Chains A and B, each alone.
Chain A
Amino acid sequence: MPADFNWAIGGEAGDGIDSTGKIFAQALSRAGRHVFTSKDFASRIRGGYTSYKIRTSVSQVQSVVDRLDVLIALTQRTIDENLNELHDGSVIIYDGDRTTMQDVEIPDGMIGLDVPLKGLAEDAGGAIMRNVVALGAACAVSGFPIENLDSALEKRFGDKGRSIVENNMTAARKGRDYVEDEYDEAFGYDLECTDEDYVLLNGDEAIGMGAIAGGCRFYAGYPITPATNVMEYLTGRIERYGGHVVQAEDELSAINMALGAARSGARSMTATSGPGIDLMTETFGLVATSETPLVICNVMRSGPSTGMPTKQEQGDLNAMLYGGHGEVPRFVLAPTTIAECFHKTVEAFNLAEKYQIPVYLTADLSLAVTEQTYAPEEFDMDAVEIDRGKVVDEETVGEWQDEEGRFKPHALTDDGVSPRAFPGTEGGVHMSTGLEHDELGRRTEDTEMRVQQVDKRSRKVETARDREAFEPREFGDADADTLVVSWGSNEGAMVEAMRFLDDRGIDVRFLSVPYVFPRPDLTEAVEAAAETIVVECNATGQFADLIEHDTLTRVTRLNKYDGVRFKADELAERIAAALGTQAAGEEATP
């Protein structure tokens, strides 16, 4: 097994699972360890199974695996739900005094640590600190110095006052001491600390940070899981930079406000999830036809309809590519890692303004809610460049007026991109509309102008293909017979799966594609490979369809649509199975 450590806390929603997990993840990150978290949550406020898992190592971790070393179980169900990930020697920390845990069953071969979490917490100042006692116990089991927990507790509770922080520190020590005093097992873990300083963030936060860095100043949205975190991140932060967040009455309003702000001259964004995209589609057509630069972020969840709002899926690709009546170009960007969520958001704003086109920026749920550690340099603010495209001012507006001095917002140009004038610019007065229009923005049904405007809008795509590098991210052996292609959050699991595959002598070339449209031409890569496998979290293989369309070659589809992300080892199994080289003694996950 890789030299990593897998930890989880599970219980009912309302048990404080999320904040407890976050504290431990932060402590590990501050101790110079890499962290990758995953959350399993139900669509309800209280009750229902929920868990927070952490995989940690001194080297970078980018996915989850089927393994749990230490589990804090607040309910019997926590153990039941994780049985297949627990192994001989796994440690289960529970509170045997809790009414529901008195008859707890610890599976054979595993170590049950009965720690009076509530009682020890009360000794430290309050039962509410029960989970922190458990964290202290976990420190004892994993050989993780408890001092590292202190700074995370400080960060979490610092605002609430000194005594709260100190009580929590005491609670953690009570948990640790209890395990050390009562149990003399050698658990065999020794979580090493380093001097590195990492940042720990999720995809939604990276998108929000990318938006501010990329000059977004106006955001309108409507709360929806799992996109709301983008709005929550921006609220209270974007104001520091002169921006503003509006919680609109619905998604229709949100996209229209964002459109208004964009036409006013602000970099503007809205974020939503699948059902919200459906509602926004009406205005999407207007955004595209009026050539308004707008970033529309779609944090995908499991559909259709309300589907499984808290579960993973990559099912909205077709909706973003083809959604809406009529034909209008749009760009679709799909970051493949949390760090890329930041970079692609900055890029989305530049592309939107350079080409005056709506840009879908899409993350899937796993990317959005997962937290991962990075070296802070990954988010280099000095490297951020902002390109607003063809904006005219009083001096240059004259170049874009007709003989009567009227500004041409939809001027027919070789590159398909017209000039932009913000309100307040003298001489730039113009109207735009969702009706087909002439260069001045006036409605037209003239057959020739209709064709010219459609062609002009399409031409932007060709221009962008010429000027931008819509390249895939490449991993593995470029000469390997097997080509794996994926998009979105599968990259992390696939990069790690390559190690498992390598152990079995399976050599793959892996292309992770962050640009859905325009996208890189993979024809050469597909033709060079003996077998191409397209990995995605949907049932029909929407991305695979595109690859087949582009390359005129049949690919193997590897789909997962049970609401759960790919795990690295699971993905390796399935790729090996697809290649017919299943390793002896191992079963492929169905």
Chain B
Amino acid sequence: MSSNVRFTDFKSDAQPTWCPGCGDFGTMNGMMKALAETGNSPDETFVVAGIGCSGKIGTYMRSYAIHGVHGRALPVGAGVKLANPDVEVMVAGGDGDGYSIGAGHFIHAVRRNVDMTYVVMDNRIYGLTKGQASPTSREDFETSTTPEGPQQPPVNPLALALAASGTFIAQSFSTDAQRHADIVKQAVEHDGFGFVNVFSPCVTFNDVDTYDYFRDHIVDLADVDHDPTDYEDARSRILDPGKEYQGVLYRDEDSVPYSRRHGVDADMTDVPDGAPEDATDLVREFY
């Protein structure tokens, strides 16, 4: 790891095509800051993204990266990390990506607890397909495909993560730059699966969950008496409907990441020129 990495080193020369004012700019900047501040370099970082506005992040950041298929970024990240433990893995997705098409992967990634960071750019709408309801859209939110609102309650991603035995559950607001970067940084430093749901407003299609709305409603956990290591405290806040928290809601100090549980610490990328030395033992087993 190089010590003199600046967050701009993680910026590519591609011009983002996100709408002016999109919350994703701040979300990405915070991710880059967190990576730089934790001492990672682009050469040793792997960013996995899915489809949608969030999926473009691999193009705008400078690191090893893959832009995957919709909803399946988390398994890719797990594969990268398990095969090459020295690599810092950051997975980015959207609320559709993570809580709809990829909901199954999300729950299993949380409980698998591979040591990586998952940042969800939650704008509570489908942006790139031009404004349909997402799993986190409000029950009465009118969109092109839900003219009378989805008529079903939104998913609570933090509760899903908690139910799946998450070991690091946090939420941040993309425009609160320093605070957001600090929360992502804690997720990167967490020994296990660091999950951050980021309010990342869509200025084009979502006129309900706007910057102003979040500014007015966010409760920063730094300002209230909250102990993230206290499971009951975390649980009651996460299950408190309609509350928009910012900060680390839950952190399991005893988190044992997948690799330690399973004794997976070898770098799997280095392969000899031929079969392993004692491979004949494998044949002998069939005598």
What is the interface of chain A, defined by CB distance below 8 A to chain B?
A: 29-30, 197-201, 205, 209, 212-215, 217-218, 220, 237, 239, 241-244, 246, 248-250, 252-254, 256-268, 282-283, 285-286, 290, 376, 379, 381-382, 384-386, 388, 404, 421-435, 442-443
For A208, give the chain B residue with the smallest CB separation. Answer: B282
**In whole angstroms, what is the CA distance A433 to B12 when docked?**
15
CB distance from A148 to the nearest CB of B (A): 13
CB distance from A390 to the nearest CB of B (A): 15
Within 8 Å CB of B47, what residues of A? 431
CB distance from B69 to the nearest CB of A (A): 5
Identify which of A197, A213, A282 contacts B282 (C-beta below 8 A).
A213
**In whole angstroms, what is the CA distance A431 to B63 when docked?**
7
**In whole angstroms, what is the CA distance A243 to B262 when docked?**
11
Within 8 Å CB of A432, what residues of B? 65-67
CB distance from B221 to the nearest CB of A (A): 31
For A263, give the chain B residue with the smallest CB separation. Answer: B66
Q: Does residue B280 face the partner (Cβ distance < 8 Å to A)?
A: yes
| Structural contact, B271 and A217, CB atoms closer than 8 A | yes
Subset of 8 A-B contacts with CB under 8 Å? A213-B275, A252-B105, A266-B268, A282-B69, A386-B274, A423-B87, A429-B63, A432-B66
Within 8 Å CB of B82, what residues of A? 218, 244, 246, 257, 261
**In whole angstroms, what is the CA distance A435 to B44 when docked?**
24
Identify which of A254, A424, A426, A433 contacts B87 (C-beta below 8 A).
A424
5 additional A-B pairs beyond A244-B268, A246-B78, A252-B105, beta carbons within 8 Å, are A29-B287, A242-B268, A259-B79, A260-B79, A442-B59
**In whole angstroms, what is the CA distance A79 to B28 when docked?**
70
| Structural contact, B280 and A381, CB atoms closer than 8 A | yes
Q: Does residue B231 face the partner (Cβ distance < 8 Å to A)?
A: no
Q: Does residue B131 face the partner (Cβ distance < 8 Å to A)?
A: no
What is the interface of chain B, defined by CB distance below 8 A to chain A?
A: 12-14, 42-48, 58-59, 62-69, 72-84, 86-87, 104-105, 108, 262-264, 266-269, 271-276, 279-280, 282-284, 286-287
| Structural contact, A422 and B84, CB atoms closer than 8 A | yes
Q: A244-B262, A244-B264, A428-B43 are contacts. A265–B58 as well, Cβ < 8 Å?
A: no
| Structural contact, A30 and B104, CB atoms closer than 8 A | no
Identify which of B48, B67, B79 contacts A261 (C-beta below 8 A).
B79
| Structural contact, B66 and A433, CB atoms closer than 8 A | yes
Q: A283-B72, A431-B58 are contacts. A266–B269 as well, Cβ < 8 Å?
A: yes
Within 8 Å CB of B282, what residues of A? 209, 212-213, 237, 381
CB distance from B80 to the nearest CB of A (A): 4
Identify which of B72, B86, B87, B269 contacts A253 (C-beta below 8 A).
B72
| Structural contact, B286 and A201, CB atoms closer than 8 A | yes
For B43, give the chain A residue with the smallest CB separation. Answer: A426
Within 8 Å CB of A282, what residues of B? 69, 72
| Structural contact, A257 and B78, CB atoms closer than 8 A | yes
Q: A218-B83, A386-B274, A423-B84 are contacts. A379–B283 as well, Cβ < 8 Å?
A: yes
Q: A242-B266, A430-B64 are contacts. A248–B286 as well, Cβ < 8 Å?
A: no
| Structural contact, B104 and A250, CB atoms closer than 8 A | yes
**In whole angstroms, what is the CA distance A286 to B72 when docked?**
11
Q: A249-B105, A260-B76 are contacts. A422–B58 as well, Cβ < 8 Å?
A: no
For A282, give the chain B residue with the smallest CB separation. Answer: B69
CB distance from B214 to the nearest CB of A (A): 30
| Structural contact, A443 and B59, CB atoms closer than 8 A | yes
| Structural contact, B268 and A212, CB atoms closer than 8 A | no
**In whole angstroms, what is the CA distance A443 to B282 when docked?**
45
Within 8 Å CB of B262, what residues of A? 244
CB distance from A343 to the nearest CB of B (A): 12
For A241, give the chain B residue with the smallest CB separation. Answer: B276
For A422, give the chain B residue with the smallest CB separation. Answer: B269
Within 8 Å CB of A197, what residues of B? 287
Identify which of A199, A249, A265 contacts B83 (C-beta below 8 A).
A265
